[in-house]
Amino acid sequence: MAYLTPPPDGDHGWLVRVHNRAQRIDFSLYIAGEAHAASFPTAGDALDAAVRALHIEMAAMTTRR
């Protein structure tokens, strides 16, 4: 499951949080080499990133079994 959070007033952009219920972990998406959560300029960009993250999580789960 992924959650999109709209930017608060004056903030940089949309945030994405991924929740893996099977492993009971929850994390924000980060950009490699950055010390803060990734932000996306539009909801569409955030949705694309969320879908990619979910595909990666699902693929990792199938290889762990």
pLDDT tens digits along 27-63:
888 878 877 888 899 999 999 999 998 888 888 777 6
| C-beta separation of 1 from 24 below 8 A | no
pTM over 0.95: no
Residue the block writes with tokens 């991924």: 18
Model confidence at 65, in pLDDT bands (50, 70, 90)?
Answer: low
Cα 63 to Cα 46: distance, rounded to the nearest angstrom: 26
pLDDT tens column, 21-31: 777 888 888 87
Total domains present in the chain: 1
Domain that holds residue 56: 2-64
